[in-house]
Structure 1
Amino acid sequence: MAGTFDVEVSRDFAAPVERVWAAWTEPADLRRWWGPAGFTCPRAEADVRVGGRIAVTMRAPEEWGGFEQHSTWTITDLDAPRHLRYVFTFTDAAGTAITPEQAGIPAEGVPERGEHEVRLEDLGEGRTRLHMREAGYGTSESRDMSRAGLEQCLDKMAALVGRPDDGARDPGGHE
């Protein structure tokens, strides 16, 4: 989006495209990696089709108060197992859209409807490169907060599907 600060992240995984796709779209897998370090995902539901949605709940560790944060990812485009585009929305426990402030997000500039895109590239030999883009942040601080959380989520995904190759993640966390 023009005039916004966007998250751009690439990560290589030592796993085939189909396995990384399953991590994004299968509830059992989502529960194992969604949320930054120390957070858990007690709920994940997936209706993976254009117009469908993925719903997740992220729970903070007890030392952070154990709060829960809910979101839905409404799928706008997909080409399984290589491409997923969705609109990220914070919700209450019942799935009704709420603002980032109502969800307890401390950073100004977090969009109410974040446009996200996941692309998976087959690198051969059972390896996959994930490209992730989150568009629409209003400030560099909100973008950086989201990138940090995403990087921690992808660390957990790597542990689930296969360790990243040496040097697969650039030191800046983006391309």
Structure 2
Amino acid sequence: MDLTVTRTYGAPPERVWAALTESELVKRWWGPDGFSCPLARMDVRPGGASLITMRSPEGFELHNTWTYTVVDAPRRLEYVLGFCDADGRSVPPSSLGLPADIPETGVPHEVTLTPSGPGTELTVTERGYATADTVRLSRLGLEQTLDKLAAVL
């Protein structure tokens, strides 16, 4: 099952792209409400992998890698979001208490930026979930995260 969320921001594609790819900007918005992002080590190039950490209000840290397959600035990013330990070593999502149907090989993401008047339409598609419950959970987190991105822009 796939999940697609679209937002329109009052910023040009180049500014939205920077917020998606520059460490200091990613740290300001990544994660759902109440979560912070203490680490965003970005390596945005085909074959590159970023390491991003989000921290819950209780101090639990969840680490992700974003391994890029397509980087077409400022129009398109494709990457696989994987779950890992603090050193970037892959771990099964279920070992972190996440739903068992999240693919262990990672969740493919497609991000497109389309000029829209003076701003940008951003569309994020996540692929490969097995249940509607996991899609619903991911949608909630993604929508909150994209709302935080709006505040950065």
Equivalence for 2:96: 103
Quick one: distance in 2 between partners of 1:15 and 1:151? 18
Deviation at 1:55, TM superposition (A): 1.1
Which of 50, 57, 63 lines up with 1:70 in the alignment? Answer: 63
Deviation at 1:16, TM superposition (A): 0.6
Equivalence for 1:54: 50
Deviation at 1:70, TM superposition (A): 0.2
Quick one: distance in 2 between partners of 1:94 and 1:54? 12
Alignment coverage as a number of residue pairs:
152
Q: Which runs of 4+ in 1 moved over 4 A?
A: none
- Structure 1 residue runs of 5 or longer lacking an equivalent are 162-175
Alpha-carbon contact 1:7-1:135 (below 8 Å) kept: yes
Quick one: distance in 2 between partners of 1:16 and 1:95? 32
User: What do the CA deviations read for 1:110-157 (whole angstroms, capped 9, x no partner)?
Assistant: 1221100100001132x0000110000011100110010000000100
Quick one: distance in 2 between partners of 1:114 and 1:84? 14
Within the alignment, does 1:120 sit opposite 2:98 as a pair? no
- Structure 2 residue runs of 5 or longer lacking an equivalent are none
Equivalence for 1:23: 19
Quick one: distance in 1 between partners of 2:97 and 2:10? 35
**TM-score, L = length of structure 1:** 0.85
Deviation at 1:103, TM superposition (A): 2.3
In the alignment, residue 75 of structure 1 is paired with which amino acid? Answer: Y
